[in-house]
Amino acid sequence: MLYRDTVESEVLVHKPWFVALIFVAMLAFFLSFNLAGTTFGELMRPVIGDPLQSGIYGRFAIAFVLAIIFSLNIVVVGFIPLQVQIGIVWMELLLLFLAFFRSFNLSMPFIWENLPYLISQGVVTTIYVSAVSLFFASLIAIVAAVAKLSSNGFAYATASFYTSFFRGLPLLMQIY
């Protein structure tokens, strides 16, 4: 069961020092990428001229505008009620995901034409990888279980370390 947060405090995103910190962090982040050749660089063409020829000034202008937009977004969303904030942030993240997906320049007619094959290939590959993973995980688990029942200190220590390590390590870190 979830309990409502009863802590009364000032909203952090309304404090000028925090907004300035976010702005500086985002400015540094966006400066680390050359966004001149992107769609946003084309949108900034009236300000910076030819995006690919604008150099460091164009790069700074693009990063500055993106940092301003990001910071203002955080501040404005902070004034809205929680349920509306959640909806707005979900919508923004969905739009960012769709923009990211669009950046791959995929051939949609090709995908729609081959969709049954692509789906069946994906299902078969998923089942195959899952079956192989299940086999090896079961094999390792049986060896570790037998080792934990052993009176040999080395086998017990190795098995207990293995199970504790992988039980405590987040799944995302195990994948990568």
pLDDT tens for each residue of 83-114? 899 999 999 999 999 988 888 888 889 989 99
In a domain, 55, yes or no: yes
Tell me what pLDDT residue 5 has: 65
Strand locations in the chain (E): none
Transcribe 83-105 into DSSP letters: HHHHHHHHHHHHHHHHHHHHTT-
Q: 41 with 59: CB under 8 angstroms?
A: no
> Does 120 lie in the same domain as 78?
no
In a domain, 3, yes or no: no
Q: pLDDT tens for residues 17-51? A: 999 999 999 999 999 998 888 888 888 888 888 88
Q: To the nearest whole number, what is the mean pLDDT of the chain?
A: 88
> Does 155 lie in the same domain as 84?
no
Degrees (nearest 5) of the Cα angle 63, 65, 67?
A: 65
In a domain, 5, yes or no: no
Q: 26 with 72: CB under 8 angstroms?
A: no
The residue among 68, 89, 105 that closes a domain is 105
> Does 67 lie in the same domain as 142?
no
Per the structure, the complete domain to which residue 132 belongs is given by 111-175
The residue among 54, 86, 105 that closes a domain is 105
> Does 134 lie in the same domain as 64?
no
> Does 154 lie in the same domain as 85?
no
> Does 83 lie in the same domain as 67?
yes
